[in-house]
């Protein structure tokens, strides 16, 4: 089940932090970079975050979370984290699909991830996101940038319906 999270609650912020930190530690290991900004979040910084947070619950436990922010006309998926015990269970896909379904009228949805985080890169590509480039955030550390335009979404749906 996916539900909106209220991070003004200290308990909710702690739950998110308990998923976010281990998840970003795994990504840090994958991409060889411990400088991911979200690794230094605290309960207080999460409580002040301006993003909208949605959680995926399994038996009442937060198993994953997605955070969104609007920057001009672009909806940005700013965080997508899955608790390590729930990796490879389709939760990331369900969270991103939820975002796509809830925001079908948004012209552009953007996301980024470590370029060597192949599970995330593959997920975004499978869901119709197009690689728009890479950005070097530290020496030899690259972030892959992706966008999904409304037209791309229609093409994606057409491909899914024609080639399921």
Domain count, the chain: 1
CATH label of the domain that carries residue 13: 3.40.630.30
Written as tens digits, the pLDDT of the chain (164 aa) is 999 999 999 999 999 999 999 999 998 888 888 888 898 899 999 999 999 999 999 999 999 999 999 988 999 999 999 999 999 999 999 999 999 999 988 999 999 999 988 899 999 999 999 999 999 988 988 999 999 997 655 555 666 666 65
Query: Beta partners for 50?
Result: none
**What is the predicted pLDDT for the residue at 104?**
86
Q: What is the domain range of residue 37?
A: 2-162
Which pTM does this prediction carry? 0.86
Q: Do 45 and 76 meet the contact criterion of CB atoms below 8 Å apart?
A: no
SS (H, E, C) 32-46: CCCCCHHHHCCHHHH
Q: Do 161 and 155 meet the contact criterion of CB atoms below 8 Å apart?
A: no
**What is the predicted pLDDT for the residue at 31?**
84
Query: b/e string for 15-42 if b means 16 or more Cβ within 10 A?
Result: bbbebbeebbeebbeebebeebebeebe
For residue 6, give both structure tokens: 């209220």
């Amino acid at each position: 089940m996916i539900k909106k999270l209220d991070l003004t609650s200290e308990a909710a912020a702690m739950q998110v932090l308990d998923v976010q930190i281990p998840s970003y530690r795994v990504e840090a290991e994958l991409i060889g970079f411990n400088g991911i900004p979200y690794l230094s979040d605290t309960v207080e910084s999460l409580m002040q975050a301006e993003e909208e947070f949605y959680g995926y619950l399994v038996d009442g436990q937060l198993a994953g979370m997605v955070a969104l922010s609007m920057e001009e006309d672009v909806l940005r998926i700013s965080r997508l984290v899955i608790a390590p015990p729930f990796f490879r269970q389709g939760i990331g896909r369900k969270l991103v699909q939820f975002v796509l379904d809830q925001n079908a009228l948004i012209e552009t949805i953007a996301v980024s991830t470590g370029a060597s985080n192949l599970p995330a890169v593959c997920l975004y590509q499978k869901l119709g996101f197009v690689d728009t480039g890479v950005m070097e955030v530290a020496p030899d550390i690259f972030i892959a940038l992706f966008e999904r335009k409304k037209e791309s979404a229609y093409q994606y749906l057409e491909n899914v319906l024609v080639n399921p």
